[in-house]
A = this chain, B = another copy of it.
Amino acid sequence: MFIMRARLKDVAAKAGVAPNTASTILNRKPNSWASEETRERVFKVAEELNYRPSRTALGLRTGSFKAIGLVVPDLHNPFYTAFSDCLERALRKFGYDLILEHSREDMDYQSKCLLSLLDRQIDAVAYFVNDLDKHLDFLAKAKEADKTVVALTGPPPKGAPHLPFDSIQIDFTSGFIEAVDHLIELGHQRFAFLSALSKGQSADGRPEMFNQLLQARGVTEENNIYLTCSHELEDMHRVFKEYLESQPPQRHPTALIALNDLAAIGAMRAAADCGFSVPGDISVVGVDDIPLGCFLPQRLSTIRQPIKDMAEATAMMLLNRLRSSSESSTAVQSKCFNTQFVCRETTSAVSSG
């Protein structure tokens, strides 16, 4: 014998009113001029029956499901969990749930995730875009479906058209410049970059950007190594280790910039495996500034993303759009954040020699 979830109908019946009456009362509608006695009765019955409205039915009826989806590229990366956590906190304050989809750093799978979210009829989507070209198309679909979309992405390349949707942008240039300047000052002349790419993701303009940055500071192209790996810690470790093992000492970088903190961790272990000390032999800089970074044996020097600010800005942008949905101030919004180099314990002067 199942005790079913109490429905509005049940509450109404037990309280001796019609369902709609119960509805108006429970929702504290101003035009509910029900007698004080009736109100009380309805509330009491609702309480007794443990009544909770069905979000599903509610959503179907009102068109809003009070839910916002986030497509998380990598649930195993603390950066994303930190972001999700902040976003969820911010949204919950306004009565919205956050629904996560984990796309596992697979570009193809990401579109599945988006569809899945849309099928569940959420109100809006926040989306980490790591490959503009590939993502534009299906993000457009979300808009067609009349969903609010906020993209989390780098700023559009100079000269490129503006993004067709709202976005929270994060500009890494300042952070990279600070980090590189810092390393150069410490005497480093051989650099490596370790970039984790999603399945199906193209390297974009990154190698060129790093090259430009370094050449402007007198580092020749042959002293600028660009390595790519997947988002598996294991792969990050393997790629850097194999590089170190495969190259003669003069090709070993003295400074490594890993494109996320997790990659920095994997690379540091690789360095250790090859008998190098950090930062003695190799200085390492990560990107993200995940909390974990400060609890490693060497506190990780990194390029910080303002995670909390970004998440809160995302929430606000989303919420504002939802609020003024129909008036639809069609102007595309964007807000840009900067990154910042944080010097800790994994960077030091290049050993004299």
Task: Spell out A's residues near B (CB within 8 Å).
Answer: 2-5, 50, 52-57, 59-60, 65, 67, 75-76, 78, 81-82, 84-85, 88, 97, 99-100, 102, 104, 115-116, 118-121, 141, 144-146, 233-234, 237, 265-266, 268-269, 272, 291-292, 294-298
Separation of A116 and B56 alpha carbons in the complex (Å): 12
Q: Which residue of B lies closest to A100 (CB)?
A: B100
Q: Which residue of B lies closest to A59 (CB)?
A: B56
Separation of A272 and B2 alpha carbons in the complex (Å): 57
Would you call A120 and B266 a contact (CB within 8 A)?
A: no
Contacts of A292 in B (CB 8 A): 233, 265
Would you call B297 and A119 a contact (CB within 8 A)?
A: no
Would you call A146 and B4 a contact (CB within 8 A)?
A: yes
Contacts of A115 in B (CB 8 A): 52
Contacts of A50 in B (CB 8 A): 141
Contacts of A145 in B (CB 8 A): 3-5
Chain B proximity of A84: nearest CB distance (Å): 7
Would you call A99 and B102 a contact (CB within 8 A)?
A: no
Would you call B233 and A118 a contact (CB within 8 A)?
A: no
Q: Which residue of B lies closest to A54 (CB)?
A: B121
Chain B proximity of A42: nearest CB distance (Å): 19
Separation of A78 and B99 alpha carbons in the complex (Å): 19
Contacts of A52 in B (CB 8 A): 115, 118-119
Q: Which residue of B lies closest to A88 (CB)?
A: B102
Chain B proximity of A198: nearest CB distance (Å): 16
Contacts of A54 in B (CB 8 A): 60, 119, 121
Q: Which residue of B lies closest to A328 (CB)?
A: B2
Separation of A283 and B231 alpha carbons in the complex (Å): 31
Separation of A307 and B32 alpha carbons in the complex (Å): 53
Query: Which of B65, B100, B141, B233 has a CB less than 8 Å from the CB of A295?
Result: B233
Would you call A120 and B233 a contact (CB within 8 A)?
A: no
Separation of A121 and B119 alpha carbons in the complex (Å): 15
Contacts of A141 in B (CB 8 A): 50
Take A2-B146, A121-B55, A146-B5 as given contacts and tell me if A272 and B297 are in contact as well, using a CB distance cutoff of 8 Å: yes
Q: Which residue of B lies closest to A65 (CB)?
A: B56
Query: Which of B3, B82, B97, B291 has a CB less than 8 Å from the CB of A116?
Result: B97
Separation of A3 and B84 alpha carbons in the complex (Å): 30
